[in-house]
Amino acid sequence: MRIFTESRCRKMIAPTMEKKTASVFPATFPGAPVIYLNTYSNEGQKVYETAQAVGCPTFSLVTISNLDWNHDMAPWNSPAAFKNGEPFTGGADDYLRLLVEEIIPRAEKDLASPPAWRGIAGYSLAGLFALYAIYRTDVFSRVGCMSGSLWFPGFKEYIFSHEPKRRPECIYFSLGDKEAKTRNPVLKTVQENTEEIQAFYRSKGIDTVFQMNPGNHFVQGIERTIAGIQWLLSR
């Protein structure tokens, strides 16, 4: 794994393993929290710049890209959600091990000091992964699940029947108000599942919110991501 600096505010970690890339945007303030964000494409710079523009509290951001999306973000095997789509091949545990054992230690060497707390966030399938992660490791205390793929078969039942490795301090959920308006019998469950999962955590006394946004799944992904991060930082 190589570490190199692109600019004063950005450092890159380029793991040779599996060609994944983590971009580190370190805060200069000692003790600032750090949020890990798995991304579909390399939008880390845009997320970081937008977070600064809207006045997010000081934090470090680590974004991971070049993921094998339907493998790394999927908790277990499942058929394709779309006609002619790719199946999900359940590689989340292996990827989480890479994140915890290699990416996090190397990324945090570039921080001014150990973070006050670690959060994990993601959009779409990465939102599902963020929630799954707290059931497999205790390193994250806050979760952002933005337009999360909580339609994933068996996931709601998994949440209801398992305990997190560490009780989360807070969890953010969001969804577009048109995401459930589909004929796809799997995808149409996303709003119901999200509402039920959020209510489940609330019943456990966990600080949580569900934000409904206008539009479908592919509208304002950056803005929705920032809204979730901003909420996590405000708690």
pLDDT 10s digits, 67-78: 999 999 999 999
Token pair of 30, please? 């000692």
Domain limits for position 176: 2-234
**Range with the poorest average pLDDT among 9-13, 146-150, 226-230:** 9-13
For the domain that residue 37 is a member of, what is the CATH number?
A: 3.40.50.1820
- By C-alpha distance, which of 43, 33, 50 is closest to 64? 43
Q: Are 122 and 148 in contact (CB under 8 A)?
A: yes
Contact between 146 and 174 under an 8 Å Cβ cutoff? The reply is yes
Q: For residue range 116-148, list pLDDT tens digits in order.
A: 999 999 999 999 999 999 999 999 999 999 999
- Band (pLDDT 50/70/90 cuts) for residue 88 is very high
How many structural domains comprise the chain? 1
